[in-house]
Chain A
Amino acid sequence: MKKIVLLLAFFSLVVIVAIGYLSDRNYEPTIVQQLKQKYSKKYPKDVDHSRFPILQQKFTSPQQVTEACESCHNLTAHQIMNSNHWNWERAEFIKGKGIVYLGKANAINNFCIGTKGNELSCAKCHIGYGMDSTRKIFADSTNIDCLVCHDNTETYAKAGEKGGAPAPGLDYNKIAQSVGKPKRTNCGVCHFYGGGGNNVKHGDLEMSMFEPTKEVDIHMGTDALNLQCVDCHTTKQHMISGKLYSLSSMNLSRVTCEQCHTETPHESDILNEHTYKVACQTCHIPVYSKVNSTKMYWDWSTAGRLRNGEPYEIDDSLGNHTYLSIKGSFIWARNVKPDYIWFNGTASHYLEGDVINDTTKPLVLNPLHGSYNDYESKIIPVKIHVAKQPFDPVNKILIQPKLYSPEKGEGAFWQDFNWITASSVGMKDAGLPFSGKISFIKTEMYWPINHMVSSKEQSVQCIECHTRKNSRLAKLKDFYMPGRDYSPFVDIAGNWLIILTLLGVLTHGILRMFSSKKSKKV
């Protein structure tokens, strides 16, 4: 008897050890090892530009540099001139709206709202020289700014508010002789500062990504593989893959994790099955804005307050502007847990002049499409940027105000602080009607989070979603998720059934005890 009990205990132990052993699969996948090997190889440059005589000449203008480039790269200009980096727009098909040409040229966002009329300031991030509101520069290939992307000295810089012209005092020879593949600095100088400051827009792209640690980004970490932007954003003929749905609409030329890691990168089948409905980013980017804060809320309606007739700013303890007379009030956040939505790769957009029918709820400027029942959809992490921005309550359209002007008196809000004149000039520049009345409407923009990937140890754990309380996916209610969902009826009925059984057994046992005592006495 004792022997058998011991044997049984031994068996239980064997079973549990077997379960543990059979389910343990904690080693690095081969594919990751292969990728590490591939991307740690260093290749020498094919060409040394410093030896070309044409780059030894004394350059007096940036256009001369471009001409020198084009003397050898003589079939390249048209590639640039067909790109959205140059045109600030591309053809997009939007469901319900057909084919539209959409881009920075004409989009309305809920940051600095739009570029129209504000070109001198906005074009600091255009890959060309000398953009103004006439936008005539696009026809001339010598206006292409090769250097902003290809400078490898990290000394090239653009001047502020000069329509994209370079800063004064640059050594064009040194810069032109250094050219090579774009590095993180080349891309980051625009893409990290969109919206008028570091990390205003994206949340996952900001100046800490110039030289990130692997804690910030496991791929780009200088102490890890030190990947450059273009390692993933592969490029053919100056068409750079990858795009963001603040402006894009179609499920095309996206950069995906799967292009390196495959669709089933995990050793565990259960994790691999997740990839059918869950994007990699959802688990592998647990927080964004890991180093510096990102802007979460922008209230234009408080803009324009002056002290002694002068604009002013208020900063928080981290140096983030919480108020600017020219722009309004802001809320910033750091180490932000993303919001999660279903996304199938297509988006819609508020286009200039679109009439807003329902002004009672927030207007989403770029609704991302998707749902659980849509086979193409996966859950992705997003930053939701909320704003209160000017709109015309009579025409029911968003207002594109004139913001920047070098001089006072031209109606620019940043000079004159008058919403009515800024709106009437801005709407005239944009070719849109303006009733003369201004109101403010709550708007939202969805920014998919794709960068700042964490190590697998730091990725989102099962319980952070599969839980009844505070699930990361609490807002996605269109599907059943184990651990989070249950049938209240089954659970309550089941609990009662178990309680009643226990009570029944207990009562029965007690009655038996008493009756057996009684019978012993007899």
Chain B
Amino acid sequence: MSKKLVYIYRGFERFWHWMQAILIFFLAFTGFEIHGSYTFLGYKDAVRYHNVAAYMLIVLIIFAIFWHLTTGAWKQYVPTAKNIKAQLDYYLFGIFRNAPHPTKKTVLSKLNPLQKLTYFGLKILVIPLSVTSGLLYMFYRYPTRHGIDAINVSTLKYIAIFHTVGAILLVVFIITHLYLITTGETVTSNLKAMLTGYEELDSDESSKDQVGEKEINTIIE
């Protein structure tokens, strides 16, 4: 079983990942100030910055969706029941015995089953919840303002509470995510991979995957 340096995260993917990271940190930081959890920037600036950052995140998300659809990378996130138990076993027991990762990381299958499930949940539940409630938060007054009573939203209460729920779930995700970064081959190998794009992977895979990598490369290029 030999190791090989593989280009696993493409340029856009890394750009998307880190921009999203910056924006979500910033949004959480300003958002919880707006929520009344603390004061730091001042309420007015917190709101202003939060809204601008929100638009930037939405633009980024649109680009990311486009990228995932056109490159077929979205398939990475389709959840699978296979190996979920093995992955759970690994995090709960195997990891302490220095057992090997139960699933192999390859270019075509970068995510382990638990990651797939989590990211899928993020993408179809938490992010849409945050974005939709966020947009409603910004624009819920407009129908009433323009005399359209049929779709009048009379209170901010539920919009705001759902937005808070989304934010709390994201914070929980980030804490877990930040910790799990350190559970790669070495403590920093996952971080390095997301920064440089390259990661040392086992290369005992069948040639099928090598072909797959090429395929993906040609699709992207």
Contact = CB atoms under 8 A, between A and B. Distances in A.
Interface of A: 1, 4-5, 8, 11-12, 15-16, 18-20, 22-23, 268, 270, 273, 276, 373, 375, 461-463, 466-468, 479-487, 490-491, 494, 497-498, 501-502, 505, 508-509, 511-512, 515-516, 519
B161 A23 contact: no
Question: A-B pairs with the 9 shortest C-beta distances?
Answer: A494-B168, A480-B157, A462-B43, A23-B48, A515-B96, A505-B179, A463-B43, A483-B36, A19-B52
A276 B141 contact: yes
A488 to B, nearest CB: 11
A19 B97 contact: no
Interface in B14-46: 18-19, 22-23, 26, 34-36, 39, 42-45
B1 to A, nearest CB: 19
B87 to A, nearest CB: 14
A482 B35 contact: yes
A498 B168 contact: yes
B172 A11 contact: no
Contact of B22 (A15, A479, A502, A505): A15
Contacts of B161: 486-487, 490
Given A16-B26, A466-B43, 20 more contacts: A4-B196, A5-B195, A11-B22, A18-B52, A19-B49, A19-B53, A23-B48, A23-B49, A270-B51, A273-B145, A276-B141, A276-B145, A462-B42, A462-B47, A479-B156, A486-B35, A487-B164, A494-B165, A501-B175, A502-B175
Given A4-B195, A12-B22, A494-B164, A468 B36 contact: yes
Nearest to B163: A482
Contacts of B172: 497-498, 501
B56 A18 contact: yes
Given A270-B51, A483-B34, A483-B36, A509 B22 contact: no
Contact of A490 (B98, B168, B196): B168
Contacts of B22: 11-12, 15
Contact of B192 (A1, A11, A498): A1
B118 interface: no
13 contacts: A1-B192, A1-B196, A15-B22, A19-B26, A23-B51, A462-B47, A466-B43, A479-B155, A479-B157, A482-B35, A509-B182, A515-B97, A519-B98
A467 B44 CA distance: 12
B160 interface: yes
A483 B26 contact: no
A479 B44 CA distance: 20
Nearest to A487: B161
B58 interface: no
Contacts of A508: 91, 179
A22 B43 contact: no
A498 B175 contact: yes
A269 to B, nearest CB: 9
Contacts of B39: 463
Contacts of A273: 141, 145
Contacts of B65: none
Contacts of B157: 479-480, 485
Nearest to A25: B48
A375 B44 CA distance: 26
Contacts of B165: 490, 494
Nearest to B164: A490
B73 interface: no
Interface residues of B, number: 47
A491 B52 contact: no
A501 B144 contact: no
Among B18, B36, B53, the most chain A Cβ lie within 10 Å of the Cβ of B36
B18 A11 contact: yes
A502 B173 CA distance: 11
B171 interface: yes
A375 B144 contact: yes
B58 to A, nearest CB: 14
B176 interface: yes
Nearest to B30: A19
B4 to A, nearest CB: 19
B156 A11 contact: no
Contacts of A1: 192, 195-196
B5 interface: no
A515 to B, nearest CB: 4
Contacts of A501: 172, 175-176
B195 A467 contact: no
B95 A480 contact: no
Contacts of A276: 141, 144-145
A462 B172 CA distance: 29
Contacts of A515: 95-98
Contacts of B18: 8, 11
Contacts of A497: 168, 172
Contact of A482 (B52, B155, B160): B160
B164 A461 contact: no
Contacts of B207: none
Contacts of B144: 276, 375
A468 B36 CA distance: 7
B2 interface: no
A466 to B, nearest CB: 5
B23 A15 contact: yes
Nearest to B149: A375
A461 B36 contact: no
A263 to B, nearest CB: 10
A512 B179 CA distance: 12
A19 B156 contact: no
A20 B43 contact: no
Contacts of A491: 164
A339 to B, nearest CB: 22
B154 interface: yes
Contact of A461 (B26, B44, B53, B196): B44
Contacts of B23: 15
B36 A486 contact: yes
